[in-house]
Amino acid sequence: MYYKIAMVSLLTALFISCTGNRSDTSNEQLSSPDDVTALNGEANELFLLVGTYTSQEGSKGIYLYRFNSETGLSDSVNMAGVENPSYLTLSPDEQFIYAVGENDESGSAVHAFSFDKKSGSLTLLNSQPAGGSGPCYITIDSKGKSVHTANYGGGSISSFHVESDGSLTPATSVISFKGSGADSIRQAGPHLHSVNYSPDGQFLFAADLGTDKLYRFTVNDTPFEGQPAILESSLKEYITPAGTGPRHFDFHPDGGKYLYLLGELSGEVIVYDYHFGELVEKQVITADSIGARGSADIHVSPDGRFLYASNRLQADGLVIFSIDPDDGTLTKAGYQLTAGHPRNFVITPNGRFLLVAGRDDNTIQVFAIDGETGLLTDTNQDIRISKPVCLKFAQMR
């Protein structure tokens, strides 16, 4: 095989107690299975999964932590060795984890892991070629049956079926795109950067940074054996302003009635009304006022009151917007500087904390969220880890 997977099972003593000390994976000190099991009954405890780039010595793959959503404290639990797992997704029942291997076409892959919450262990089930270079995003449907990747270098979307044991079939389809954008260097061809289901599960949307388009596919709920869950014939295109560079998007938690799309190149958020697959643009607002052309990730708070978007390359940080409860439009509320290159961030389900993966500073920062204003306060409870780029939460049980 062109890729090499090593499952690393390192379960030693706890290296952080509830004293506020910082985690540091460079020490490879990990907690025991008994310690994980003992906390499974506490509702405020979450698993934090971290995808990394492994090009730098010190990072080896996917890291697993225990995170307290009331205190913001964390403990290291385990890790699984895999090359460049830059984006992760969990099955709806959280029994399986799927990761891209963001490599060139000869080494790009998609990996399936089983996730044992009792022991805190990740076990590789199988790996499949991604079907396109630079897979940088992965998602799964609400039934846990279909997995899709956005392939940045390949300018394509790859689809896979999930077997009953959680493993992946070879790709059932690879849909490639054509075209270019206004930026002759960064938009010389299609660059798929994210792919995700609508909240109703009836449609799959994909953002193409290279062609300034947002794609929509109708989902095939009951595909015949070997058929993909999405068909190219169902494609509909939404064109964004020239030079937008669509990257990531998020739906409002109130039934998904608004979609928020972040342009990496324009540094703008485009707000759409959403209704059963249809989008109507209603607002464009600046997220990156400096014009660094490096906007990255976007998320709505669980209560639907605030929206956050990350910016890189200059004044690295998060812009904070309040959301109008009547029409979903945005008003800028503040800006929070962060560690270098905040490629991805995640909000705890209870809305108390926001964690930022600062890739270039090898740090995950933990910010407390003000429930009234949405503004952020650094808790100084950093998690030290090499090249973090993707953060996902899972319930402890």
Confidence label for 18 from pLDDT (cuts 50, 70 and 90): very low
pLDDT at 222 over 50: yes
CB 330 within 8 A of CB 323: yes
Structure tokens of 222?
């009951």
**Helix, strand or coil, per DSSP, at residue 296:** strand
Residues 6+ apart with CB under 8 A from 10: 28, 30, 78, 79
Give percent of the chain above pLDDT 90. Answer: 85
Q: Rg (Cα) of the chain, in Å, rounded?
A: 20
Q: In terms of pTM, does the model score above 0.95? A: no
pLDDT at 2 over 50: no
Average pLDDT rounded to a whole number, residues 118-141: 97
Which residues lie across from 365 on neighbouring strands? 356
Provide φ and ψ at 116, rounded to 5°: -95, 105
How many angstroms separate the CA atoms of 117 and 102, rounded? 26
The model's pLDDT over 75-89, given as tens digits with 9 standing for 90+, comes to 999 999 999 999 999
**Helix, strand or coil, per DSSP, at residue 27:** helix
How many angstroms separate the CA atoms of 174 and 62, rounded? 26
Please report, as a single letter, which amino acid is at residue 352.
R
Q: Of 319, 325, 260, nearest to 294 (Cα)?
A: 319
pLDDT at 316 over 90: yes
173-176 β-sheet, strand order = 135-140, 146-151, 156-161, 173-176
Average pLDDT rounded to a whole number, residues 43-68: 93
Give the domain ranges of the chain.
23-292
**Homologous superfamily of 23-292:** YVTN repeat-like/Quinoprotein amine dehydrogenase (2.130.10.10)
Confidence label for 42 from pLDDT (cuts 50, 70 and 90): low
